[in-house]
Structure 1
């Protein structure tokens, strides 16, 4: 039904099959529809809904990395994976430290 041969880039690296793209797309749609339904039709407490949305968002990031960006632990992907991990660490540090600074400023402004 679908072409099962991998799609290759100009560099000769494999970019998956049409079936893998379809699987990734379906999983992404489901991982988007569940949080949307939880927010539109609230059945859980708000804090639990927020955590479920965040958790499914993290799962969706990994689905995109695997099915669309084709990142894995293969030797030819090692540098891409290291660059991704470095980028994530820098973003977490920037966002986390910015939030910490803003929280500290907020508490110091209330104290005076």
Structure 2
């Protein structure tokens, strides 16, 4: 039996707690500060990037595995999909107002 399956997933708990702190920090900055909107958006975007990196390492086991090239290809593909989804959503939501 593999000893790895019997261990407590402490990295998952740490990753969850770190993600929770980052999310609550972003909510606090957005709701409780009087910073300019551009500063708030930059701060939230930075926290989102950090949280994505934490999730890649803690939950997706990016450090594990023998084939590093496959991991890099998968990350590039995921970034491509994220950009397409976000840009497509913004395009659809903003172009609908011009036809109404």
Q: Using structure 1 for the length normalisation, give the TM-score.
A: 0.63
- Give every structure 1 segment of 4 or more consecutive aligned residues whose post-TM-superposition deviation is greater than 4 Å: 93-100
Structure 1 unaligned blocks of 5 or more:
9-15
- Look at both structures and tell me which one has the larger radius of gyration over its CA atoms: 1
Decide which of 57, 62, 71 is 1:71's aligned counterpart: 62
Q: Please identify which structure carries the higher helix content.
A: 2
Which residue of structure 1 aligns with residue 76 of structure 2?
85
Q: 1:54 to 1:76 in 2, by over 3 A?
A: same
Contact 1:73 1:81 survives alignment (8 Å): no
Match of 2:4 in 1: 6
Any unmatched runs of 5+ in structure 2?
none
> For residues 85 and 27 of structure 2, what CA distance do their matches in structure 1 show?
28
Superposed CA RMSD in Å reads 3.1
